[in-house]
Amino acid sequence: MKFDLLPKKRLGRKFITLGIILFPLFSSLYVVSIFSSKLISNALSLPVLLIAVASLILFIVGIIFVKTGTDKEPKRLKKGFRYALYVLALLYTVGGYSILGLLYLPGTGFKDWLITTAMTTMNHQYFATWFYNDYDINICMANNSVMESGEDTNPDLINFTEPDFNQVTYKNKFEKEVLTKDEGNDLYKIIDLDSKRYGFKGKLAVVYDASHVKLGISKGTGTSLGGSYGQFITEIASRYKAVLAINAGGFYDPNWNSTGGVPHGVVISGGKLIANNSKATSTGGIIGFNKDNKLILARMSAQEALRAGIRDCVDFGPFLIVNGKSSYVNGNGGWGTAPRSAIGQRADGIVLLLVIDGRQVGSAGADMNDVVKVLLDYGAINAANLDGGTSTAMELNGQIISNPRNGAFQAKTRPVPNAWIVVP
């Protein structure tokens, strides 16, 4: 008499189920282990592969058992429930391998986006280091960069001519937005970016008189991490009685938990040297206004800046547009997609203060190409990137009017060492 502890077909179905669950999971984990040892250590790589192979064998044996088994069919599941299980199994398998393809197949662009975005955040670099090794990360960052022209700005290209604010026709809608003043306000105008055109939300402050744009300094700015502190841009604006402010330069932030009080690079405010520290980035340089109220983008020391008559500046970058020519942006520029701040000036002297919202539904943020596009649309001939991410915010009359997000996607900004302010 033939005796089976478990009918062959039923056993085959169990093998198939285990194979469907285990093979996609462990084969995916093995692929991840090839590219990075952070998520799957080298010691676990071989056991993961063996489990993947064993689960594949189990799946194949299960199919053979189901095809060759002669035992009585068990009670079948209801048709609707059975189809639901098939759909779940398909979604599980296809979904898992789709994610794997996004992570590692060439040509998707997802790898570059993930690495550059993660590596420029304060708290989420692990999204890149989990899935990629240091070599791949370095190659990706090198392939996504901003190649500046190497020129310094030519102040003679700025001509403070009074634009015709009452003209009937304009060369494009951006020119009309800039040159159509709000009634009763000759100092500035706030423009909401066209989210349908750009794919993100943001604010552009148009300042008609560059002499009113100053660099405000945090009350606690210093040279020691232990003895200095930054302030929110609302506090800096209040201190200077400014009507408008956006964040400006970067700051030392070890472990991403400093108080924002020690600025990077050269900082000058009101013609006085505030800081002369190491540079924030390998690109860019002095971003500021000279005594003629012209935006200067140049590579110079603190003493050279003072001798050149720079009245207000920070040290950051990259430079995005110099003398009407945009920098060459490889890929996404190497800064990923995130909240962005930038400053620019038109040939007529009008200053553009740009803030782009990020890390939220409907506005993931912008890369360097996006920032260049906005600034060129609105006529900037000189422009530079400012500190972004959690620092990015715009203040108007004591209130934050942009939509800032921190690294945890919360509606928060953070203290900064300085801010570009508009003083009446």
Domain boundaries, the chain: 8-105, 148-422
| pLDDT band, residue 3 (cuts 50/70/90) | very low
CA–CA dist 424, 240 (Å, integer):
10
CA gap 233, 414 in Å, rounded: 9
Please work out, in degrees rounded to the nearest 5, the angle formed at the alpha carbon of residue 241 by the alpha carbons of 271 and 389. 80
Give residue 179's pLDDT. 95
pLDDT of 71 reads: 60
Q: What are the residues whose beta carbons fall under 8 Å from the beta carbon of 142, sequence distance 6 or more? A: none
Chain-centroid distance of CA 284 in Å reads 18
Which stretches of 67-137 are assigned E, i.e. beta strand? none
How is residue 314 written in tokens? Answer: 């920070």
pLDDT band per the 50, 70, 90 thresholds, residue 74: low
The pLDDT value recorded for residue 78 is: 67
Q: What is the pLDDT of residues 345-390, one digit of tens each?
A: 999 999 999 999 999 999 999 999 999 999 999 999 999 999 999 9
203-233 pLDDT, tens digit each? 999 999 999 999 999 999 998 888 899 999 9
> For residue range 8-38, what is the model confidence (pLDDT) as tens digits?
778 888 888 888 899 989 998 888 888 888 8
Q: Is the Cβ–Cβ distance between 202 and 360 less than 8 Å?
A: no
Q: 238-256: per-residue pLDDT in tens?
A: 999 999 999 999 999 887 7
Q: Among residues 18, 54, 47, 19, which one has the least CA distance to residue 33?
A: 47
Mean pLDDT of the chain: 90
Q: Give the pLDDT of residue 345.
A: 98
Question: Percentage of residues in the chain with pLDDT exceeding 90?
Answer: 55
Comparing 20-34, 67-81, 134-148, 160-174, the range with the smallest average pLDDT is 67-81
pLDDT band for position 2 (50/70/90)? very low
Helices 110-119, 134-143: axis angle to 10 degrees equals 100
pLDDT digits (tens, 9 = 90+) for 162-187: 888 888 889 899 999 999 999 999 99
Note whether 387 and 198 are within 8 A (CB): no
Is residue 312 scored above 50 in pLDDT? yes
pLDDT score recorded for residue 288: 98
pLDDT of res. 307? 97
Q: Is the pLDDT of residue 4 over 60?
A: no
pLDDT in tens, 253-289: 887 778 899 999 999 999 999 999 988 777 899 999 9
Percent of the chain with pLDDT over 70: 95
Count of CA atoms in the C-beta half-sphere (13 A) of 179: 20
Judge if pTM exceeds 0.75.
yes
- Which of 132, 144, 125 is closest to 104 using CA atoms? 132
Q: Which two structure tokens, joined as six digits, stand for 213? A: 């744009």
Residue 77 has pLDDT above 60, yes or no: no
Backbone angles phi, psi at 190, to 5 degrees: -105, 125
Q: Is the bond preceding 74 in cis, omega lying within 30 degrees of 0? A: no
